[in-house]
Amino acid sequence: MKIHLIAGGLLILAGATACGNKDRDSSSRNLLEKSSQGASTQGALDSLSWGVVHDRIMCKADSSQSYALYIPKSGNEKSLAVIYFFDPHGDGDLPVMKYQKLAEQFHFIFVGSNNSRNGLELQEDDQIWQKLWNDTRTRLPLDLRRIYVCGFSGGGKVASYLGLAHPEISGVIASGAGLTQMESGGDFGFSFTAIAGLGDMNMTDLISISQGLDKSTTRHRLILFDGPHEWPPLPTMEIALDGLQFDATVRKLIPLDSALVNQYVQSSNQRVKAFMAQGNLVRAQEECQLSIHMLQDMGSRAAHFQTLDHQIEGNPQYQKQIQKQQQLFTTEEKIKGIFNQQFQAGDEAYWDKTITLVQQRAREKNSEGEMYQRLQAYLSLAFYTISNQMIEGQRNLDARYFVDLYKKDDPSNAEAWYFSAILHARNHKVDETRMDLLTAVKNGFNDKKRLQSQPEFQSLEPQLGISGIESKMGTPGL
């Protein structure tokens, strides 16, 4: 079976994203700071309850735009820092609820866009930001000097884009993806925090971005955690918010919180010692580098980690481990190249064997296992991208081939089963469509609007029973 891919169909795998806005200069930043005087000009609470997650606040100027919101109950009438979250599926309340504890801990307002999602042009995301920004700054008590954006996966690219395009943004947290254009570095008017799981297919891209920023004056850091391509765990996001607090301290927006700094230093020391005890000198050195960047321009607090960093780098065992890591990165890129060639070949036997091997190796608890986790995630994204193109192009036979590979590689991914349901619906297979949709729901699919508007499913009503499928959403284990 020879597959002819749509030209340029795999650009997303290389992280290519157009960015038509030039970097912001310091004059824009200074002008903003002079005009803001710290607080939102209106800053009315607009009768919104504090300490409660609002999953859908409609924008007053456009009811098609909405956002999830959490105002910490520990806050007060003064202006508060705010983080705007961008989820790749437009699930605004997911990160808001996941990190709600941190909103209380740091006294931040959390806002999650329900409209920004994968598949939109960055210019569309920019329009969503404008409406979101205009609505929240007139309804909430925002500290206009402390406007932050945070996104995961495609949302990480959106957050990076917005940071480059809008001088009101003073910090970007990009988890699971960023704009590769930033690898060349730049003296940006915002701080940049990159977060990636060790099994994240975009980890090496975020490492490259961080290394590029090493050549700049931009405050930045790279936070790695033990996990796949997913929203980072709460303790990891807590470190990212520590960084935002340290940024604000350096900019003299808030007073030095010695207790917070001491707590961070103590925790980082414990992580370094734990990695050293495991014999993982690469992770120990990465932790030292993180703390050096976190504590930059905060007096002599980074000196301890600089000394540890030099000691670790001089260890022959570290040199062996870092060399092995580089070799794995090289091997990973070569394997990706082979995959890209095989996408064109349509060799089902090759993919059956390869996917099984990748899944087996991804279970190993070592650096090779982490590499294969990244490769498994890479294949999942590739199969998603190609399947989506084939479905949109009405190439149903080719789409079925890639969707089945998608389900085999990433069986717990709701999107794979949703795609499969679309193809069954096109062939008027009601029972198979229903079963695939129920599996998608079991794996986390909860987009009722998309389900209701999918033309393939509408044509099968009432036999399909969309309302019954919707009723299963949010039911554990169905």
274 belongs to a structural domain: no
Please tell me the predicted confidence (pLDDT) of residue 345.
84
Residues 123 and 242 in one domain: yes
Two tokens at 311? 């000691």
Two tokens at 211? 């290394």
Which of 173, 19, 21 shows the shortest CA–CA distance to 85?
A: 173
81 belongs to a structural domain: yes
Residues 193 and 327 in one domain: no
292 belongs to a structural domain: no
Provide the 8-state DSSP code for 48.
P
Chain-centre distance of CA 364, in angstroms?
Answer: 25
What is the tally of structural domains in the chain?
Answer: 2
Residues 340 and 226 in one domain: no
Q: Are 175 and 207 in contact (CB under 8 A)?
A: no
310 belongs to a structural domain: no
Residues 88 and 213 in one domain: yes
Helix 348-362, helix 396-409: angle, nearest 10: 20
Where is 62: in which H helix or E strand? strand 62-70
Kindly write down the DSSP assignment for every residue of 358-403, as one continuous string: HHHHHTSSSHHHHHHHHHHHHHHHHHHHHHHHHHHTT-HHHHHHHH
Specify the 3-state DSSP secondary structure of 235.
helix
Q: Are 188 and 24 in contact (CB under 8 A)?
A: yes
268 belongs to a structural domain: no
Last residue of a domain, one of 199, 222, 255: 255
Rounded Cα distance between 442 and 28, Å, is 48
Rounded Cα distance between 10 and 344, Å, is 11
Please tell me the predicted confidence (pLDDT) of residue 67.
97
Residues 141 and 250 in one domain: yes
Residues 80 and 226 in one domain: yes
Last residue of a domain, one of 255, 286, 308: 255
Contacts of 321 (CB under 8 A, 6+ apart): 280, 281, 282
Kindly write down the DSSP assignment for every residue of 148-179, as one continuous string: EEEEETHHHHHHHHHHHH-TT--EEEEES---
Residues 325 and 232 in one domain: no
CATH number reported for the structural domain that contains residue 136 in this entry: 3.40.50.1820
Exposure letters 43-76 (e unless 16+ CB within 10 A, then b): beeeeeeeeebbbebebeeeeebbbbbbbbeebe
Rounded Cα distance between 178 and 185, Å, is 13
Half-sphere exposure for 270 (CA within 13 Å, toward CB): 6
234 belongs to a structural domain: yes
Kindly write down the DSSP assignment for every residue of 212-231, as one continuous string: HHTTSS--EEEEEESS-SSS
**CA 122 → CA 2, 97, 160, 312, distances in Å?**
33, 26, 11, 42
In a structure prediction context, what are the per-residue pLDDT tens digits for the chain, which is 478 residues long? 444 444 333 434 433 333 333 333 333 333 333 333 445 544 445 667 888 899 999 999 999 999 999 999 876 658 999 999 999 989 999 999 999 999 999 999 999 999 999 888 999 999 999 999 999 999 999 999 999 999 999 999 999 999 999 999 999 999 999 998 887 777 899 999 999 999 999 999 999 999 999 989 999 999 999 999 999 999 999 999 999 999 999 999 999 999 999 999 999 999 999 999 999 999 999 999 999 999 999 989 999 999 999 999 999 999 999 999 999 999 999 999 999 999 988 788 999 999 999 999 999 999 999 999 999 999 999 999 999 999 999 999 999 999 999 999 999 999 999 999 999 999 999 999 999 999 999 998 988 888 999 999 998 999 999 999 999 887 544 4
Rounded Cα distance between 473 and 399, Å, is 26
154 belongs to a structural domain: yes
Which of 149, 31, 135 shows the shortest CA–CA distance to 82?
A: 149
CATH number reported for the structural domain that contains residue 332 in this entry: 1.25.40
Host domain of residue 71: 37-255
Q: Are 340 and 369 in contact (CB under 8 A)?
A: no
12 belongs to a structural domain: no
**CA 13 → CA 147, 354, 361, 429, distances in Å?**
30, 19, 22, 32
Rounded Cα distance between 317 and 323, Å, is 10
List of long-range contacts for 370-376, beta carbons under 8 Å, 24+ apart: 370/198, 370/199, 371/328, 371/331, 371/332, 373/198, 373/199, 373/228, 374/199, 374/200, 374/201, 374/203, 374/204, 374/332, 375/201, 375/332, 375/335, 375/336, 375/339, 376/199, 376/409, 376/410
Last residue of a domain, one of 208, 239, 255: 255
Two tokens at 235? 């303790």
Residues 221 and 73 in one domain: yes
Please tell me the predicted confidence (pLDDT) of residue 476.
47
The DSSP bridge pattern shows strands 142-152 and 80-86 to be parallel
pTM given for the model: 0.87
The helix/strand count (H/E) of the chain reads as 19, 8
Chain-centre distance of CA 163, in angstroms?
Answer: 15
Residues 175 and 70 in one domain: yes
Residues 229 and 327 in one domain: no
Please tell me the predicted confidence (pLDDT) of residue 478.
45
Residues 217 and 102 in one domain: yes
Rounded Cα distance between 260 and 345, Å, is 55
Residues 92 and 215 in one domain: yes
